[in-house]
Amino acid sequence: MLFLKYFYTLILLLLFNNQNILSGGGELWIHNHSSSDIWVHVYPVSMVFNNDTYGTNGRNYCLLGTSKVFPQQGIEKYFINGANENEWYFKISVQDWIEWGFDGVPGTDAATKGTIGFGRWKIDFYNSANINGSPIDYCILEYDLGYVNPNRPECGSQPGDVNIRFVNENPGHPRVQFLWETCSCLYSTPYQDVPTNRKIYERDRGCPGEYWEPEIGNFKWNSGSPWNGFDYQRAPNLYTIFPQDPRVDITEVFFPYYGYINQNNEINDVRFGTLTLKLTIEKNEPNGNPVEIKTPNIPYDYAFANFPPIVIDKDANLILAKGNNSLERKITFRKYYDFLSNTPLEIFPYGTLELQGSANSNEKAHMYFESYSHSVIWQNANLIMGQNSAIDLQGNSFM
């Protein structure tokens, strides 16, 4: 009995010191353990995927999340990491915390500031409300589809809940720490310092020193799922521009119950075209005809023109499905208007680009590059071209 008393005391102390461990709804908690207020900005630095699991549509490459978050402030957040146009970074007072939910998972509360999905996210930390300059620190958080630690099958499916703690023990030397919530190490593993590469991987959420290969999943880009009242894990996919740009593509999207909602994510990072998982492009019209996917042809800002690249990262897979109804499936890399350039394509080592084969040449998977396109396929990268598939390059383009 004495042992049990001390054991329960230990559990209570741990829960007190980690006040929202095991609480529902949250996926990412950010704690301020420094001696002054901080401001944080959470945003995607890769392609991001929602948790639309309705039917056979698969989780979608879509900035429109399936979560409906209703914090007490009255702000509705329908987009992955979406917020209204006036709220896109957040203050955390000393010894306070805020949270982000995971898309499609109910149970959010007043502390929930938005939702995140599968992919790669950056967290910037600032020491004032003026966040136009460089952050004082940052970390990158990457979610794959893995839920089971193969080293500890007794734990079963594990949540990807992570606590991020900002500690400023010495003035001028900020530090970021993290703690995954896992069944085996929840009470025995202390917070760890973020590695020097600033990356925190979901597949590292076992005990320290454990590692398993990422699970890249089988994500889709199709029409998504129709709204059905306020059901979770349903969201239509309205997008046809590649890559989806959170700076512009999450504004004024129509919702059948609310009309147009203007939301905004102000970011200066153009890595949202990086693919870290497995994506199959198979978007069709309601009649089954393939929808042509296109890259943008107008820069986001003429004053600061940039051309966000499409990057297939290590171990990632981009698949262009074959066509339907005797029609080809096509992705077009368009030339930017008024610029001798367009969206670059780059395949990193051990990344894979696949054009699916078809017995019918009319239904080929077709990748078309307009003038002034350029693509780079690194050594040990993979390009797979199925039967009757095609890649065409117009003048002044190269691969």
- Judged against a pLDDT cut of 50, whether residue 282 lies above it is answered with yes
- Judged against a pLDDT cut of 60, whether residue 380 lies above it is answered with yes
At 305 the pLDDT is: 65
- Summarised one tens digit per residue, pLDDT across range 217-270 is 899 999 888 777 656 677 788 889 999 887 775 654 555 545 555 555 567 788
Higher-confidence residue: 266 or 277?
277
For range 90-114, the mean pLDDT = 78
At 315 the pLDDT is: 94
At 261 the pLDDT is: 54
* DSSP-derived pairing of the beta strands 382-385 and 219-221: unpaired
Question: For 163, what's the count of Cα atoms within 13 Å in the CB-facing half-sphere?
Answer: 23
At 385 the pLDDT is: 96
- Burial of residue 149, with CB atoms counted within 10 A of its CB: 0-12 exposed, 13-18 middle, 19 or more buried: buried
Work out the mean pLDDT of the chain and round it to a whole number. Answer: 78
* DSSP-derived pairing of the beta strands 310-312 and 274-275: parallel
Of the pLDDT bands very low, low, confident and very high (cuts 50, 70, 90), residue 182 is low
- Judged against a pLDDT cut of 60, whether residue 360 lies above it is answered with yes
Is the Cβ–Cβ distance between 272 and 246 less than 8 Å? Answer: yes
For range 13-41, the mean pLDDT = 66
Rounded alpha-carbon distances, angstroms, from residue 80 to 3, 49, 139: 46, 8, 19
Residues 6+ apart with CB under 8 A from 253: 64, 78, 79, 238, 260, 261
Of the pLDDT bands very low, low, confident and very high (cuts 50, 70, 90), residue 306 is confident
- Judged against a pLDDT cut of 80, whether residue 15 lies above it is answered with no
For range 301-309, the mean pLDDT = 71
Is the Cβ–Cβ distance between 376 and 339 less than 8 Å? Answer: no
Instruction: Give the whole-number percent of the chain exceeding pLDDT 90.
Output: 34
At 1, list the tokens.
């009995």
Give the residue from 102, 121, 118, 99 showing the smallest Cα distance to 110.
99
- Give the pTM: 0.86
Give the residue from 342, 346, 320, 328 showing the smallest Cα distance to 395.
342
At 179 the pLDDT is: 80
Residues 6+ apart with CB under 8 A from 16: none
At 238 the pLDDT is: 82
* Distance in angstroms (rounded) separating the CA atoms of residues 237 and 253: 11
- Burial of residue 389, with CB atoms counted within 10 A of its CB: 0-12 exposed, 13-18 middle, 19 or more buried: buried
Which residue type, as a one-letter code, is found at position 61?
Answer: Y
CB neighbourhood size of 6 (10 A): 10
Instruction: Give per-residue burial for 225-234: e unless 16+ CB within 10 Å, then b.
Output: beeeeeebbb
Indicate the range of 101-115, 222-236, 296-310 predicted with least confidence: 101-115
Higher-confidence residue: 134 or 388?
388
- Judged against a pLDDT cut of 90, whether residue 317 lies above it is answered with yes
At 144, list the tokens.
């794959």
At 156 the pLDDT is: 60
* Distance in angstroms (rounded) separating the CA atoms of residues 378 and 311: 11
- Judged against a pLDDT cut of 60, whether residue 278 lies above it is answered with yes
Rounded alpha-carbon distances, angstroms, from residue 259 to 47, 79, 245: 26, 15, 21
Is the Cβ–Cβ distance between 25 and 108 less than 8 Å? Answer: yes
Instruction: Give the whole-number percent of the chain exceeding pLDDT 70.
Output: 69
Residues 6+ apart with CB under 8 A from 214: 144, 146, 201, 203, 315
Give the residue from 91, 92, 63 showing the smallest Cα distance to 78.
63
* Distance in angstroms (rounded) separating the CA atoms of residues 223 and 263: 22
- Summarised one tens digit per residue, pLDDT across range 318-340 is 999 999 999 999 999 998 887 78
Is the Cβ–Cβ distance between 324 and 282 less than 8 Å? Answer: no
- Summarised one tens digit per residue, pLDDT across range 46-76 is 999 988 887 777 789 988 777 655 544 444 5
- Summarised one tens digit per residue, pLDDT across range 130-159 is 766 788 899 999 888 876 666 666 666 665
Is the Cβ–Cβ distance between 221 and 238 less than 8 Å? Answer: no
- Judged against a pLDDT cut of 60, whether residue 4 lies above it is answered with no
At 180 the pLDDT is: 76
Is the peptide bond prior to 246 cis by the omega test (within 30 degrees of 0)?
no
* Distance in angstroms (rounded) separating the CA atoms of residues 184 and 173: 32
At 162 the pLDDT is: 84
- Judged against a pLDDT cut of 90, whether residue 345 lies above it is answered with yes
- Judged against a pLDDT cut of 60, whether residue 8 lies above it is answered with no
